[in-house]
Amino acid sequence: MCGGGRITARNLIHKQMSDFKDRLIDEQAQLEEKLMKLDAFRMSEKFDKIDDVQKALLNVQSAAMNTYNQCLKERLERL
């Protein structure tokens, strides 16, 4: 085969890392979108109308999602 079409271990590892990074970018973007929607809901009048247990659970969920989002961002910075 010509040099450009040859599959090497290095090329394969690079491709796998690129695919992994792309998936991580997608995951972080999707999470951030969901988090923005959740935060918008938490600031809405609809949020005030739900029971206190649901409010508390949504606040816990938001905090967990924020932590998860920050972890994904930091992982991406290190790739």
pLDDT of residue 1: 45
- Residues with Cβ within 8 Å of 65's Cβ and at least 6 positions away in sequence, in order, are 31, 34, 35, 38
Domain borders along the chain are 3-77
Tell me, yes or no, if the pTM score tops 0.85. no
The DSSP output letter for 49 is T
39: tokens are 């935060």
pLDDT in tens, 12-71: 777 777 899 999 999 999 999 999 999 999 999 999 999 999 999 999 999 999 999 999
